[in-house]
Every structure is written in C-alpha cells, then in structure tokens.
Structure 1
Amino acid sequence: MNFLKLRKAIFCCLTAAFAFVVSQEVNAQSFSVSGFVKTDVFSDGRELVAARENQFALFPLPELLVDGKDVNENRQLNMSSIQTRITAGLTGPDAFGARTSGVIEGAFFGVTDANINTFRLRHAFVRLDWENTQFIAGQFWHPLFNTQSFPEVVNFNTGVPFKAFSRNPQLRLTHRVGDISLIAAAMAQRDFAGPGGNKPLRNSGIPNLFAGIHATAAGHHFGTGVDFKQVILEHNQTEATNSLAASAFARFNFGTGFFKLYGLVGQNMTDHLMIGGLAREKIDNAKDKVLPTSIISFWTELSTGFRGESDGVRTEFGVFAGYTQNLGVSSDNFIPVDGSRGFFLEYNDLIDLGIDYVWRISPRAQVHSGPVRFALELEYTVAAYGAFNSDLTISDSKAVGNFRTQFSAYLFF
C-alpha cells in the first residue's frame, strides 16, 4: 500500500512538473489575429483584362467592332467582399540565438475565377531575427515588391501593371549595416507564374534569384535591386531562356503625407502581373529559340491629409500615376508564347494584336475613424493596341480607355 501511495505521489509530481513546463512554453509565445473586413462597390465603362469578376483590374480590352459598334464598350457594376483578410501572427521562444516569429495570412480571393470566394493562402513564413540579420523561409512578397514603398491605392490591383506584384515561396536573407540593408533571395513560383505556369522555372533547376540594397536616411527610404530567372518551356523542345529585371524606388515622408517614385526595366514579367512574357522562333528540325519580351515601367504617388482636432477623424487625399511600355524582343521573326500578357495571336477577326503602352491616373479620398475607413477612388486607365511586328514592338497603335469609380468600406481588427 505504501508503494502504491509513493507511486501515485511520484506520478502527481511528474504531472504537475510537465504542466508547469508546458505552461512556461506557452507563456513564452504570443499569438495574435488581425485583418480587415472589406467591401468594394465598383463600376467600369469597358470590358477589362482582369481577374475575379473584374475585382482585380489591369487594363481595358481592345476595340472590337461588330456592325460598327465597339461591343467591349459597355458599363458594368459589381460589389464584392472577397478581399476580406485574416492574419495570424506568432512570436515564439528564441532559437539559434535569434528571435522567432511567423505569419499565416489568407483572404477569400480564391486562386482562380472558378473558385472565387474561397480561402486563399497569401503569406506563410518563418522568420528569425538576430541583432543585424534576418532570415525568412516561406511564402512572402517577391523582393521586387518592396514593402517600404508600394502604391497605396484603393483598387486591389495595387498599381498593377506598373508595379511588380508577386508572392513567392522563398529563402531570403537580409543583413543590416547601419541604415543600409543588403538583401539576397532565392525563390520558386506558386500562384504567380509566367507562360506555361510554374513548371518552366522548375525545369531550369535554378531558382529565381534576387540581390538588392535598401537604405534609410532622415526617415526617407531608397532601394534598388536586380532579379534573374531562367526558364525552360519544354525539355528537349526549347532552349533555356534567361531574363533580367532591375528596379529602383524612393519614398519621401513629410508631415502627414508621402511622395513615392518607382522605375523598372524588365524581361518576362508576366509572373509579376505586368505586360509581356516570352516569344518563340520556330526553326525546322531544331529546338525552338525562346526570347523574353522587355518592358519599362514607372509610377509615382503623392498623399497628404489632416486629422480633426476634436473628433480624431483622419482624412487623406492621394493620387497615383503610372506608365508602362512594351519594348518587344531583341530579334526578328518571333511570335508571343501563349500566356504572355497583352498579346493576342487571334482576337476574333483581329490577328497579331498587342499592347504598345498602358498608362493610368487615379485620385482618391479616404476618411478614417477608429477601426473604420471609407474610401472613394476614380481610376482612368488607357491601353494602346496595334499590330505587332516581328520583334513584337507595335505599329499604328490605337488607345482605348476605361473609367472606374470605386467605393470601399473597411473594418480593421
């Protein structure tokens, strides 16, 4: 009997000790849930190249005449709450001498138009922070989308197609030296891919590589970076195709506002929701030669506002402007690869049609009170289409425009 009592006492002590250890482990971590509920009401005057029932708008479709009438010129109205977002953040105990944290974030945007309104993974990564070095493993923004300076427009397109926009599975290392950060990253593709999906990048056996440098001075942010990727459309049928992109940005902060500048020169930027992609030359009894199409893009944004002294309501006014130009390929006798953005080998009775340039201007006004924001944005986007030449530059382009009016309501938590 005494042995049974002793065994029971030992068991109780071990259970209590285990519970204490577990509670200490849990207390060493913090878990948070944040996000927002968002509803958009938007109208367009023209059919668009867009995703999710025109929620994610890129640029207007070309003129399509039927009996003398442009059938792509028709007004539309839609309402949607699919941008509603949930973010879970976790801070864990130290590991390898670094502070640990992680993020899981999703929205109800779906992955394709066929599964709109379903939950979609946006970010999922592990982060380790030492005193001057940070390591990220998981799905996060591509480094060409710099989180220090991006278009803060109301439209969910976030400045596309003038701003590189992509989230990628990646390994990223950032090292800080004073006010300067050195960035290196190796990436795969998942939801954002070029012509042929993410398989051409996998076929190459080489990850998408990035190197960049960011700096902070007097509260302002600056940065530049170079991106490299190699793709093989089909083994034994096409050669490897290399492409480069280089970008630079600046963000100047002042009082209650900011001013931003961004420029990019890039090749095969379809995976970043920009125009262009790949082109191929068919050679008899040989492998296809595949070249990347090139673009140049710029955007700028200005924002300012004020806060009410009595009610704390904050009002913000902003304007975004962007321009991108198709530069074609570096040789003749090429046609675009299927999936390249802004090219139509056949568009009803129109053939060899492509985008010459796109530009946009979008002023906005936003009112914030506590966790609620109301926003109104007017967006005018112009795309110029014409017959593409053998180097995929455009001749005799004709511009068409779309005017979007958008109202959005947010509740942040």
Structure 2
Amino acid sequence: MKKLIVIVCSMFLFYSGLFAQEKQFKAEVYGFIRSEFYHDSYKGINAAMDNFYLFPAYAGLDPAGKEINKNGMTNYTAMATRFGFNISGPELFGAKSSANFETDFAGIVSEYPEVLRLRKAFVKLDWENVSLLVGQTWHPLWNGMGGNFPQVGNLNTGAPFNPFNRSPQIDFDYRTGNVTFSFTALYEQQYVSRGFYAAPNSNSKNLAKRNAGIPELVIGINHSKGAVTAGIAGQFNAIQPMSITDMGYVTEELNTSLVGMAYLAYKKDKLYLLAKGLYGQNMANMLMLGGYGAKSYNTTTGEMTYTNYNNYSALFNLVYGTKVQLGLFAGVAGNLGTVDPLYDFGGSAKIAGLATSLKNMSRASTYMAYNIKNLKFVAEYEMTTADWGAGNFDFSDGLYDDTNSATNHRFLLMVMYNF
C-alpha cells in the first residue's frame, strides 16, 4: 500500500509538472501526518475504531448493577493522516478554473478503516461575482459558506452538535458587496439518510436518497464585514424510506424534511469566536440527532406515511492564541418529539434515524495546543453526556417518560505535522 501511494503521488506530480509547462496548470500538495492517543471512559456511538466519537451509549446494567458500557477504551492511531492537491488551471469561459482532490486513511470508517477513501474532489469556476462548484466537498451547513466550523482537538469538529457531512453537489454562489447568496443541490454518498431497507453491503446504504430521485437543496445567505461573519441557511430534503412493502407491494411514498441554521463568527488576530444553532428534522445524514417514523399503515398493502422528529442543537466555540492556543467548546442538543403521532404496531413503532430515543445531550471540552512552525501538539479533555429514553413510550410524540444518563470522559493527546 505504501509503495502504491508513493507511485501514485509521484506520477501525479510528474504529469502535473508537464501540464504546468504545456497547459498552464499548477498543482500544490498539502496535508498532514496526524497521530493521536485517546482514552474513553464510556463506550459509545463512534466510527473509525472510536477515533470519531459521537456520544455515550447507555446499554443497561449487568446482574451486579454495574453499567454495561461504563468500561474504558484506549487506542492509538494515525488513520486521520491525509493529503490532497490544490490545482489551478487556465481561464475557462472567462472564469478562473481550479480543482481539488483530497483523501485520507479512514477508509470505510465503520468497517475497513486505515485504507484510502475519497474526501473531496471538485472543479470550480470563479468569475468576478459568481462561482460554480461541481463535485464532492463539505456540506454547506457544516461551515456556513466559509471557514466557520468548530475548532477543537478531536476529529469530530463538534459533531453531533455541528453537521458533519461531505457530499457530491453542485454549488452556485453570487456575491454582491459583503453579501453572498448560495444555492446547493446535493446527493448522498458516505453520510446517508436512514431507510427501511436491508443493507447487505455499502452500495445499498444510500438507497433512501437514490430511490427518491430528488436532490437535497440548501439556500444560504452570508454577510461578512471586517472580523464579523453571519449567515443563515435553509435545507429541504426528500427520501424514499422503502420501495417494496412488507406485503410485497410497490410504494413510492416520500418523507420530506426541513432544517434551519444560523451562525455568527468573529475572527481577528488571536481570537476566534463561533455561535451556531440548528433546528430541523431528519438530520441523521449530517451525523446529528434526528429521524422519522411511520404515522399511518395500510393493513392491506403495507404502505406507510411518515412523520419527522423535531430536533435542535446549539454550540459555542472560543479559541485564543497562535503559538500557544487555548480552546473551549460547549454544545447542547435535544429531541422535541414527532410532528404527528406514530402508528402503533402492536406495542412498537417503526422508526429510522440516528439515536431517536435520545432525549437530551450536552458536551463541554477544552484543549491546549502548542505550535512550532509545521508541528502541532494538542492535549484535550472532552465530556459528553447523553440522556437516553427509558420507561413508557408515548406514541403521540415518540418520546419516553423517563431517561437514563450516560457520561463519557475523553482524554486526547495528538501530534500533527502539516505540509
């Protein structure tokens, strides 16, 4: 694998050098080598061998009354290492042309980590007031049309309190003065909406989106002046949770959902501040709390209609310093229940999503970083608490009347060399 990577990079650099001479192309390599040691006090929902930790998972008590998942885990890994190419090319259609390709070694994070995977791959045309991006990159709700995402030590960049998603998309931006209007149409690849499909392999995990045939749509407005940036955005999504009912009938019933986002950021000299909030439905494809369930059921055909859970999240992030940096992060998220009552399937409900039985969640973290030119050392403490539903289930709103709380304490030490 190492030899293959070296050969591929060498060939790319060789041919990019030829293109630079003949076709005015220029390619710059960037990336970092990252290794990290971490310890979790509570097992949880995670990816990449616990490297990407979301929240603790309550699993009940053993016969002696001890919490089953309150058992520490420790790991050391370098799988977050990544590299990419920024490519600039000749003028096309009166616009500056550029492209980006980026990969890392997180692989299929839940199954085969430590193999190459695609992170970003897009082409961009940039006119004076208009830009067009085609390809895969970050979801527009992740960073709010700019570099405004949580700055933390852990790989999760604030998830699940902040959206985390990279998707194939077409993005159109129009700039006038200090204001940018953005329109984005996206499909799903690695980060997918849940459906009622059997998923025997990774190629079938995004069937709910593929079968719907309608792209996810995001419209945003961003205002930037001096050190202050503010933005709002709205998202519309449609999925087809199933194509064949349990009675064998074809169904094309869609579930549609909406999300709203607002943020305010300040960046000047040594200080970075970010406040951000989201309210919406079925945000599981962005690694956030959310989902939906069946609200009606045809006992003859097996067809269902759907209702969404309403969820919210809010976060605050502060970073100060350059050579020595101090960072703080605080986030809350919650489940407000379903819009309509759920259908009672003989004492149970049919629900899809991410942690729909989780009522409330919070996180507080702090880190210290020491930067020496290209080298960075980070130490971080992160505490995440999740209140899981327990007791009686209420079909009127999809919530439980009691909760069980679980708290994880994560300690991280990280070394990163940027190039």
Q: Which bin holds the TM-score, normalised by the shorter protein?
A: 0.7 to 0.9
Tell me the equivalent position of 2:282.
Answer: 268
Distance 2:52 2:408 in 1: 14
| 1:286-305 superposed matches below 5 A | 286=301, 287-305=303-321
Structure 1: where are the runs of 5+ without partners? Answer: 1-21, 307-313, 344-353
Structure 1 counterpart of 2:126, one-letter code:
D
Residue in structure 2 matched with residue 389 of structure 1 by the alignment? 394
Selected match of 2:271 from 257, 264, 270:
257
Deviation at 1:218, TM superposition (A): 2.0
1:66 aligns with 62
Which residue of the other structure, out of 253, 256, 260, is the alignment partner of 1:242? Answer: 256
- Within a 5 Å distance, the mapping from 1:63-102 to structure 2 comes to 63-67=59-63, 68-102=65-99
Q: Does the C-alpha gap of structure 1 residues 129 and 337 become closer, same or farther in structure 2, counting only changes over 3 Å?
A: farther
Q: Number of paired residues? A: 375
Give the C-alpha shift of residue 220 in structure 1: 1.2
- What's the counterpart of residue 382 of structure 2? 379
Amino acid at match of 2:213: G
SS at match of 2:353: coil
Match of 1:55 in 2: 51
Partner of 1:185: 184
Q: Does residue 205 of the first structure (1) align with residue 224 of the second (2)?
A: no
Contact 1:278-1:336 at 8 Å conserved across structures: no
Structure 1 position 278 matched with structure 2 position 281: no
The 8 Å contact of residues 23 and 89 in structure 2, kept in 1 or not, is answered as no
Contact map agreement 1:355 1:394 (CA 8 A) in 2: no
Give the residue type in structure 1 aligned to 2:85. A
Q: What is residue 117 of structure 2 aligned with on the other side?
A: 120
Show the counterpart of 1:340. Answer: 353
1:40 to partner: Cα distance:
0.8
Residue 398 of structure 1 pairs with residue 404 of structure 2: yes
Residues 362-395 of structure 1 deviation map (CA, whole Å, 9 limit, x = unaligned): 0010000010000011000000012342122232
The runs of 5 or more residues in structure 2 that have no matched partner are 1-17, 196-204, 244-249
Deviations 1:270-299 (A, max 9, x none): 100011212113341252112222201100
Q: State the secondary structure of the residue aligned to 1:194.
A: coil
Q: Does 2:390 correspond to 1:369?
A: no
Deviation at 1:317, TM superposition (A): 0.2
Distance 1:152 1:337, change over 3 A: farther
Residue of 35, 42, 51 corresponding to 2:31: 35
Q: Verify the 8 A CA contact 1:195 1:337 in the aligned structure 2.
A: no
Is residue 222 from structure 1 mapped to residue 230 from structure 2 by the alignment?
Answer: yes
Q: Does 1:355 align with 2:363?
A: no
| Cα distance change on mapping 1:150 and 1:65 into 2, 3 Å | same
Distance (Å, rounded) in 1 between the aligned partners of 2:350 and 2:85:
39
Give the corresponding residue for 1:5.
none
Q: Matches of 2:255 and 2:298 in 1, distance apart?
A: 16
For the 8 Å contact 1:279–1:336, the answer to whether it is kept is yes
**d(CA) in 2 for partners of 1:356 and 1:24?**
55
SS at structure 1 position matched to 2:141: coil
How far, CA to CA, are the matches of 2:70 and 2:234 in structure 1?
39
| Contact 2:107-2:116 at 8 Å conserved across structures | yes
For the pair shown, the structure with the greater C-alpha radius of gyration is 1
Secondary structure at 1:157's aligned position in 2? coil
3-state SS of the aligned residue for 2:234? Answer: strand
For the Cα contact (< 8 Å) 1:238–1:289, is it kept in 2?
Answer: no
Tell whether the 8 Å contact from 1:270 to 1:341 is kept in structure 2 after alignment: yes
Shift, 1:26, TM fit: 3.0
How far the C-alpha of 1:23 sits from its partner, in A, is 7.0
Query: Would you say the 8 A contact 1:277–1:336 is kept in 2?
Result: no
Shift of 1:56: 0.6
- The whole-number CA distance in structure 1 between the counterparts of 2:350 and 2:39 is 32
> TM-score, with normalisation over the residues of structure 1?
0.87
Task: Report Cα offsets for 1:100-125 as digits up to 9, x if no partner.
Answer: 00000000001233211000100000
Query: Partner letter of residue 230 of structure 1?
Result: A
Q: Secondary structure at the residue paired with 2:336? A: strand
Report if aligned partners of 1:195, 1:278 keep a CA contact under 8 Å in 2.
no
Distance, in Å, in 1 between the alignment partners of 2:378 and 2:349 is 39
**Deviation by residue 1:154-192 (Cα, 9 ceiling, x = unmatched):** 111111110111111011000100110000011110001
Q: 1:38-70 CA distances to partner (integer Å, 9 max, x unpaired)?
A: 001000111111111111100001142111121
User: TM-score w.r.t. structure 2 length?
Assistant: 0.86
Separation in 2, partners of 1:96, 1:274: 39
One-letter amino acid matched to 2:366: P
Q: SS of the residue aligned with 1:376? A: strand
1:127 partner SS: strand
Paired position in structure 2 for 1:319: 328
Bigger drift between 255-264 and 364-373 goes to 255-264
Whether contact under 8 Å (1:43, 1:78) holds in the other structure is yes
Which of 297-306 and 399-408 deviates more? 297-306
**Percent identity of paired positions between Structure 1 and Structure 2:** 30
CA distance in 2, matches of 1:256, 1:367: 14
For residues 81 and 30 of structure 2, what CA distance do their matches in structure 1 show? Answer: 11
> 1:24 and 1:359, CA in 2 relative to 1: closer, same or farther beyond 3 A?
closer
Question: Aligned equivalents of 1:23 and 1:52: distance in 2?
Answer: 37
Higher alpha-carbon deviation: 333-342 or 172-181? 333-342
